[in-house]
Chains A and B, each alone.
Chain A
């Protein structure tokens, strides 16, 4: 059975009139790196909250269908059990700082303290996590004194250190520069190869094309398209539905109309575009 299994999931927040997620069916295998894209209000964050257990346990509202992750079923579990297996990091890094800790090192240890990890193990795990995301140099700084991008790395590290089976990330690189983004994608790719399952909401399609195994395109609470990045990200359907698409894809699409793009598939990344344009 799939590691993540969503069957006919429909969900409505207490205050919304129409469902925010509609009839979502989704199976994800262990160790898969899945990217979620979609326009504003598509329900991406809501999907993240659902996978992380906060829908419905924190937000309440009406949910139907079944949500299963790592052998647990949402309706039969409590949130504190759920978070032991599923890690969630989201967009605004400032609000993810616990506010109870004075250094980055302590901040990252917070989740381990809460879940009762013994002190020696805690220290080694925090040190390893700091190295993994390359922020060992920030260990003694106050989390509040960091830049947005650095805070996002701290937020990500604070979750990675807990070694969740499923990592749910909602726009985790929104405040990072290209170098930071590349590093974070690299780290996440590696985690996936080591067996962690990753679901990540991201707008930077070129990075998705390079790193993700699968893309889910969400619109109005429904899955519009799903499949390999090279197929989904170049699909005409995306362009017609107001999704952010790569400029290389749109350029090549225009070029194709003029007969200047000879290949069957459209490019997503610069490399693919260069390759396609130079070999005809």
Chain B
């Protein structure tokens, strides 16, 4: 039975010791800068001089690259091809594939957009790898995020793998009763419909029980909540956040000013 139900990897690094809000700010700042900076090479540079070094600093580089190879690069590659071929910009055709043209302009455009997406997804991957989700949520709740909102996010993060495991169990159970899960796509879709019932309705009835269970443990109590883990927020963290915010403002200002 695999124990890891979140991306989080417990390591002892500078990054792990940052306040969760600081890491969230960092991620959002990277994304905002990648998308707003007027300079063409900004997103590429961010990957090279910020995100990759940060993954080393956080001692999660192996896991980071594994996720990047398996998830991020294929998605970005697909996006790149789509945009390179279908974006109707530019005249300088450099490649022809039947009726599809790839122009230098569309290539440049696609390259930047794909990299922006890489920044976005890899920054979040970095956050998930180095930040304990419940710490992030308790920190945000402490700062005024509604508890219910935090709960929805965090339980979804946890419950998705559960649903997946359950779907697997149902499939195995049905297959042992002769359910066809290996032939053509259409036939499989047809034969998979009996799975939806147990998965969805099972979940709805479970939702009620879960609501009772968390209610019984004072979830909607009007008392001021406390948290098990102490989440330090030293002034160095506050400083980092301000610097990041200023960088974002500069990036947006330049963009507005130049356009």
Contact = CB atoms under 8 A, between A and B. Distances in A.
B220 A95 contact: no
Interface of A: 49, 52, 54, 58, 79-80, 83-84, 87-90, 92, 94-102, 105-106, 109-119, 122-123, 126, 141-142, 144-145, 155, 158-159, 162
B186 interface: no
Contacts, number: 119
Nearest to B165: A144
B120 interface: no
B155 A54 contact: no
Interface of B: 1-6, 8, 132-134, 137-138, 151, 154-155, 158-159, 162, 206, 209-228, 230
Given A106-B228, A116-B225, A159 B217 contact: yes
Contacts of B162: 144
B228 A145 contact: no
A255 B3 CA distance: 53
Contacts of B219: 114
Given A58-B212, A95-B213, A96-B213, A122 B221 contact: no
A145 B1 contact: yes
Contacts of A117: 226
5 contacts: A83-B215, A94-B206, A95-B209, A116-B224, A144-B158
Given A102-B5, A144-B162, A145-B3, A115 B223 contact: yes
A88 B227 CA distance: 22
A141 B3 contact: yes
A96 B219 CA distance: 13
Contacts of B227: 113, 119
B40 to A, nearest CB: 41
Nearest to A105: B228
Contacts of B3: 141-142, 145
Contact of B216 (A88, A106, A118): A88
Nearest to A57: B215
Contacts of A87: 216
